[in-house]
Amino acid sequence: MKTDRQKLILELISGQSVATQQQLLELLAARGVQCTQATLSRDIHALNLVKLTGPGGGIRYGVEPVSAVGNDVRKLLNIARLAALSIDAAGNIIVIKTMPGLAHAVGSFADKLEEQGLVGSIAGNDTILLIIRDNASAQALCRNLQELLLGEKGMGEKRAAGTAGQ
């Protein structure tokens, strides 16, 4: 429930300008999620949300910039778990789809893993490409990331088996 609520919070603030906790509480309630202001405040802290200045000068909630999170792998992992939507491998490339605006945070987490076969990464707005030295290492890392970020035990093996003949 907590994870689902936090994912919904990220979805809401990435899809529209949300300036206050009251506004966020109302948006959550409209989606059928009831919570107290204290719970929402804890969620905001756990998600590393900050008030950002929007393009028109208005203030809105957003995810703390990766530069502010720095080397705190725990914070990056929390963000990555909530932001990652799908992880798949194609040859020696892993593609991670995220909620809009959160690819850099997830990419920073992947870079912090210091995987031996990881050659480099590229992050856009909602997609990360991880370039791995060889296909076998990519498949193994893909399975590890799926389990770590999505909680999908064995999904990587099923996908790898399904694409082996292609």
Least confident of 5-14, 31-40, 145-154: 145-154
In 3D, which of 6, 8, 17 has the Cα closest to residue 61? 17
**Does the pLDDT of residue 28 top 60, yes or no?**
yes
Residue 62 DSSP SS3: strand
**Does the pLDDT of residue 63 top 50, yes or no?**
yes
Sheet holding 84-90, edge to edge: 84-90, 93-98, 127-132, 118-123
Quote the pTM value.
Answer: 0.60
pLDDT at residue 155, as a whole number: 43
pLDDT at residue 160, as a whole number: 35
Residues 88-147: tens digit of each pLDDT? 999 999 999 998 888 888 888 888 887 778 999 999 989 999 999 999 999 999 999 999
**Does the pLDDT of residue 23 top 90, yes or no?**
yes
Residue 125 DSSP SS3: coil
Tell me the C-alpha distance between 64 and 37, whole Å: 20
CA distances from 72 to 15, 48, 99, 125, 151 (A): 26, 12, 21, 21, 21
Amino acid at 76: L
Give me the mean pLDDT over the 74-89 stretch. Answer: 87
